[in-house]
Chain A
Amino acid sequence: MFPRQTNESRRFFYEDSIIIFLKYLGLLIVDSDGIPIRTSMDNASTLHYASLISQLTVQAKRLIRELDPNQELEQLRLRSLKHEIIVAPESKYIMIVIQTPEAL
């Protein structure tokens, strides 16, 4: 129980700090199938982002592996005119942060 407790506390600490830190941003935690687990956005855009980004992430992962089998995708940053989407793909979960200019 003990290590889990610490993990949990760490998690809340970090997540909260992120949320505080990124006041205006969208934060998503999605599983590998693109199903949202935790979100700070409204339902419709959450689903949209979750499904599309998870697909992109799979593609990006494959790309990196094809180029060099020893490589691993660490982070994906998509910069558009209005947003910056930062994706951290792990084996089972994907964390997505959407940044808008207002946040800066």
Chain B
Amino acid sequence: MSAKRTSRESLAKSATSQDSDSQKSRTPINLQSASTPPTGQRRSGSQIGSPLLKPGSGMSSAGNRDKAGSAVGKNASPAPAAKAAVKAEIAENIQYLPPGLHTIFISSTTQQSLQLRVDEDLTQESNLKLIGKDVLLDDIQTAGQASSFFEFQQQIQAYPENEIAIIYDYDYFYSQNFLICFDPKLKKFMEMPPVTLPLDEVTETEQYVPPVSKPWISLGSEKEIEEERLVLNRPLKRYKIKVPSRSSQQKPTFKDVDPDDKKKMFINIEPYEDKQFDLKKIELDIAIQAAPEFRENFSQTIWKYPKNQWTQYEPREYSEEEKMKYLADPKLINVVVNSYDLFKQALQQNIIHDPFYLDWTRLGGQLDGLGGPGDSHLKEYQSFTDIHNSKDKIVTCVQWHPTLRGIIAVSLAVRQGFDERSENLSRITTAPSLILIWSFVDPIQPKLFLEAPDDIQCFQFSPSEPHIIAGGCVNGQIVMWDIQQYEERIKNPRGDHRDKDLFIPGFEDETFFQTPHIRFCAVSSIEHSHAEPITDLQWIPDHFQITAQGLPTENLSMSCSQLMTCAFDSQVLIWETRAPRTGVKPSTKKEREVINPLGVPLTFKHLDLSWKPLLRVTLANAESGPDFAPRKFSIREQQGDRDVLNKEEKDLFEKKKDNRDSGQFVNPVDDALSKGQVPSKAKVLQNVDTFFYVGTETKFEDYHAYSLTAWYSSVVDGPVVALKRSPFFKDIVLVAGGWTFSLWREKVHSGALLHTSSMKEKVTDAEWSPTRSGVFFISKQNGSIDIWDVVDRTHAPSLTQSISSSSITYLSIKNISSKQQLLAAADSNGTLHILEVPWALRQPVNQEFQVVTSYFDRETERREFVKKRWDIREEEKREKERLAALKAGIAPAHNPSQEEIDIRMKNEYNEFIQFEYHILREMGLRDENEAPPVQQ
């Protein structure tokens, strides 16, 4: 119990100590009646307002205060000392007073008048009293200021209900002895407090009191029980009953009975159909629930964190001391000694027979070229044809780009003869004449179109400046192009028109994907050009140039600037592309823009339309007769061959002497001028052979010093189509034309070194192999190519291969790399075939050069022998005639004069005419009356 007084200890001090016995006896009852209305209710009502009062403790203390309260009531004023001690706590408590409740001190007289006497009308348990509003107001009126309720006068008046609750504060918890309530809700709450449930503490505190058994008092029930009771008078009886099994004990006896026995000692049970099972299942309701099988599986994979790891290691090595120790090891010495012989043996074997000798490598040549029948054939590598521009055109010329790989230019011309061309001359053709520049990367679309004023018959890249192209037109003009600004485009390995990703979508430069058409940048003046189609054009090699006098001089700029052309008008022209020194002053930029609307490069602006040839060589026939119409020409000097210059330095004077000796070689003008020019830097090159060969419609000529025909000979039975110098022998010329071709050596004029019999097809072009000295290619009109190998055989081509269905018009060969050689063959359908030259035709055979050299030397000797034989024959013939004349008699040998021969022949002819006439008359083909024609 003392534990429950914790919060109340201070008050307990003020109260006189109570005997605990009485408390003890009262408390349980108090607790049990906590829910009973009169006391518990009211007390708990006040407790709501005072949070410090725990219900249990409050009640228990209430018990305490019963007696203490009475003491206070009797004394009227409690012990002052105790009061002072409590004051502090009371002051604190007042603040917990709920709104609407006010402390009030009601004096004992007022208590009496209002029947609020402490411990009489009001106790600690029933501490609530309702007093009428008017009673209180009366009290205020009568007592005035002395009234306890004076200070609440207004609140009392304002109070809506009639009765005001006055609560007795038993232990002065809120500093006064009474509380007055001005809150009707609170009042109601106090009147009917919520039911407080028995608390946990109650169960805690409840002590087990063992029940005390009470003495039994008989009220007559024992009799009833006695009546109901069963008492056994005797022991229970037990019976065991068993049914005797007679049937099982008797053994059955069986005997045979006749079924026909009339006694019917047996029952026959016939099988019958039981109706019970007649029902047939017709419909069956079966419900099946299909449920997907559901399974959950887990698997845990381990993710290993990738980590860079490294270890550093070093080889084990012995230190010097250890090495020495091991070297001194007799075992090691034994090893060395024992294996010495083995090694010696092995090494000797190796020395005797070289194990590294590879028979195959010593066999010569590359292994990949061996075997296989197709190896010596030309293989089609690529073919170019432009759907729009190559139609109905023939390829007139094919040129490889001198520096860039895989770039090839093709000139196209209308497939028209001279007559057709002249007929169509007045018509304006919309299709421009073009040179197509192809790249191996893109076989569909050409890289560039070069536009020309007329069909191009021949053209060539400048060997020193490959962006410059010179072409010869059908109308006799020379055309120049400069493709410098398009070089990047040509080099670009990808096909431009498909290179869409170069541009942001929507910002494509449409013109970029189209092949640009490049206009020529210069064209020669018509008056000074050739009058007939240009048939051949060549850049003069960069190591020399030709003066206006026709003298070859050293070219100090080392760049090609001169052109040589020939045309049917029996002229060979030499052109200078550089601007004359006193040329047109360079135009200002503004002027250029005005002049240059087509964006033509200004490289050759100074030449355009006013270009005149530097030198003109007319191929006049020495004898009367038709003029020569040059088709092809060939000069001895070749691009990139600097031998002449080197030789020039060495033995200039010596050479001059030699030249004079050879007679034919020397041009007096050359000599005279060279003396004057030697001191100056541009030397006249004595070693430059000023002869050039011209292939004409019918003949093969040798021109000297650009002036006069030195020699000519009809060597082929048709127009010369090719005149090519061997890349190995500068003096060997391949002449092709008509149905034959022949090999000639310079200055050997008695005949060809090799002359073929007429072939079945017309020869269209010829080309030397750049790597094999004895191999050349001959293209023919039926679209086939003959490959001749003089090392192999000279009487027939070593290989004939058909390339195209139409005539092949041009051959051009290029050594791409040491492993690839390409032959370009263009046909009259405008298609360009690129053929790969097989290894066998590319790789020189052992000592080929020597073999071919000796072959040509032999043939040259033969020619000399033939020439000698001619002389001998001539001599012999004369001798014979002389002898015959002597034999005929002493009479002077009658040599019939020309007149006599003519008369004799005329007579014979007349006889023939007569004879013919008679025969015709007999056959009725001649009129009878017609006089026989007799020629006088």
Contact = CB atoms under 8 A, between A and B. Distances in A.
Interface of A: 4, 7-8, 10-11, 14-15, 18, 21-22, 29, 31, 33-38, 47, 51, 74-75, 77, 79, 81-82, 84, 86, 88, 90-95, 97, 99, 101, 104
A95 B327 contact: no
A92 B338 CA distance: 13
Nearest to A3: B330
Contact of B335 (A34, A90, A104): A90
A77 B351 contact: no
Given A18-B340, A29-B336, A93 B346 contact: no
B354 interface: yes
A35 B340 contact: no
Interface of B: 315-318, 323, 326-340, 342-344, 346-347, 350-351, 354-356
Contact of A22 (B339, B347, B356): B347
Contacts of A82: 356
Given A22-B347, A84-B355, A104-B351, A95 B335 contact: yes
A90 to B, nearest CB: 4
Contacts of A75: 339, 342, 346
21 contacts: A4-B330, A8-B333, A11-B332, A11-B337, A14-B337, A18-B340, A35-B318, A36-B317, A38-B323, A38-B327, A74-B342, A75-B342, A75-B346, A81-B356, A84-B350, A92-B329, A92-B335, A93-B332, A97-B346, A99-B347, A104-B356
A37 B340 contact: no
Given A8-B328, A10-B333, A29-B332, A86 B316 contact: no
A51 B338 contact: no
Contacts of B343: 18, 86, 88, 95, 97
A5 B126 CA distance: 135
A101 B356 contact: yes
Contact of A93 (B318, B335, B344): B335
A40 B788 CA distance: 58
B342 A88 contact: yes
B326 A31 contact: yes
Contacts of B334: 90
* Chain B contact surface mostly: helix
Contacts of B318: 31, 35-37
Nearest to B346: A86
Given A86-B347, A92-B332, A95-B343, 18 more contacts: A4-B328, A4-B330, A8-B328, A14-B340, A15-B336, A29-B332, A29-B335, A35-B318, A37-B323, A37-B332, A38-B323, A84-B350, A88-B343, A93-B335, A95-B336, A97-B343, A101-B356, A104-B354
A95 B317 contact: no
Nearest to A51: B315
B332 A21 contact: no
Q: B336, B342, B344, B354: which has the most chain A beta carbons within 10 Å?
A: B336
Contacts of B336: 11, 14-15, 29, 95
Contacts of B347: 21-22, 86, 97, 99
A36 B326 CA distance: 11
A4 B328 CA distance: 9
A18 B339 CA distance: 11
A91 B338 CA distance: 12
Nearest to A25: B347
Contacts of B330: 4, 7
Contacts of A74: 342
Nearest to A33: B316
A37 B336 CA distance: 13
Nearest to A97: B343
A35 B317 contact: yes
